[in-house]
């Protein structure tokens, strides 16, 4: 009898184990996740996320599912766009991350305009055609079956709805890529160790970026899910990319 395996960083693990391992990673780093993002990117992740939301096409009254919504920073940026009649559902597989996001949005005065629900992106607990938009920032690479997650995103989108994924991608400039690789593998795990006391989680996060599909591969996966008018936009020379597609 053979057992299916999948990547967990550079390791191969049993497919059914990956979800638990990813959950352990984000439970470990939840309370300092945003601080680490600032330190690791020099704050640039905030610019990436603002651009991601600003170009989302989300409008007043929209119902939005923000997968891997975690600490709520993407949802907070959406609030001015959805207006008083809109609603954002924060979905995340990790309850510790959702707890941080819920506290953040309540403190910011958005009680009643969002909800939080623990969920697996591969099995979304919603009917077909439920959301005007589905977003996912820096979460797809942690999903065990990425294609199934994209299939589910397509399913729950309303006709005319838009899917958007912001994720680390492949650097397009060779010299910058060498510098980026050195920084990622030599410095980031050490920063994680010093700030959170957890080197292994940040080693996994670096490795997960390397294992993630490149821009063309991910666009093809969007198309396979049934999304149309698919495109991607590189930011910071492809360190990250925004992928988008529509359910027509």
43-54 confidence digits (pLDDT tens): 899 999 999 999
Q: How confident is the model at residue 23 (pLDDT cuts 50, 70, 90)?
A: confident
Centre a 10 Å sphere on the Cβ of residue 103 and count the other Cβ atoms it contains: 12
Contact yes or no for 219/150 (Cβ under 8 A): no
Report, as an integer, the average pLDDT of 130-134: 98
Residue 185 pLDDT more than 50? yes
Average pLDDT over the chain reads 91
Domain boundaries, the chain: 5-173+200-246
Residue 21 pLDDT more than 80? no
* Opening angle at CA 93, ends 83 and 235, nearest 5: 60
pLDDT at 1: 46
207-246 pLDDT, tens digit each: 898 999 999 999 999 999 999 999 999 999 999 999 999 9
Which DSSP string corresponds to 5-46?
EEEETTEEEEHHHHHHHHHHHHHHHGGGHHHHHHHHHTTHHH
CATH fold label, 5-173+200-246: Rossmann fold (3.40.50)
Report, as an integer, the average pLDDT of 104-122: 96
- What does pTM read for this prediction? 0.89
Burial class (CB in 10 A: 0-12, 13-18, 19+), 199: middle
Report, as an integer, the average pLDDT of 3-30: 76
β-strand pairing of 11-14 with 63-67: unpaired
Cα 88 from Cα 74, distance rounded (Å): 10
């Amino acid at each position: 009898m053979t057992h299916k395996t999948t990547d967990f960083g550079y390791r191969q693990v049993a497919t059914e184990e990956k979800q638990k391992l990813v959950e352990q990673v984000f439970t470990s780093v939840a309370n300092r996740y945003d601080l680490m993002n600032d330190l690791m990117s020099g704050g640039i992740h905030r610019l990436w996320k603002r651009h991601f939301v600003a170009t989302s096409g989300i409008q007043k009254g929209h119902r939005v599912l923000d997968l891997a919504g975690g600490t709520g920073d993407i949802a907070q940026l959406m609030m001015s766009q959805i207006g008083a009649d809109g609603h954002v559902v924060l979905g995340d597989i990790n309850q510790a991350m959702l707890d941080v996001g819920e506290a953040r949005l309540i403190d910011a005065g958005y009680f009643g305009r969002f909800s939080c629900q623990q969920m697996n992106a591969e099995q979304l607990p919603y009917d077909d055609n439920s959301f005007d938009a589905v977003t996912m920032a820096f979460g797809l690479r942690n999903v065990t079956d990425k294609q199934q997650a994209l299939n589910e995103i397509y399913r729950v989108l309303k006709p005319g709805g838009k899917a958007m994924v912001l994720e680390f991608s492949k650097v397009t400039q060779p010299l910058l890529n060498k510098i980026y690789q050195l920084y990622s593998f030599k410095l980031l795990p050490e920063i994680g160790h010093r700030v959170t006391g957890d080197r292994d989680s940040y080693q996994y996060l670096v490795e997960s970026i390397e294992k993630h599909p490149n821009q063309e591969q991910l666009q093809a996966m969007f198309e396979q899910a049934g999304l149309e008018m698919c495109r991607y936009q590189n930011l910071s020379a492809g360190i990250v990319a925004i992928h988008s597609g529509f359910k027509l």
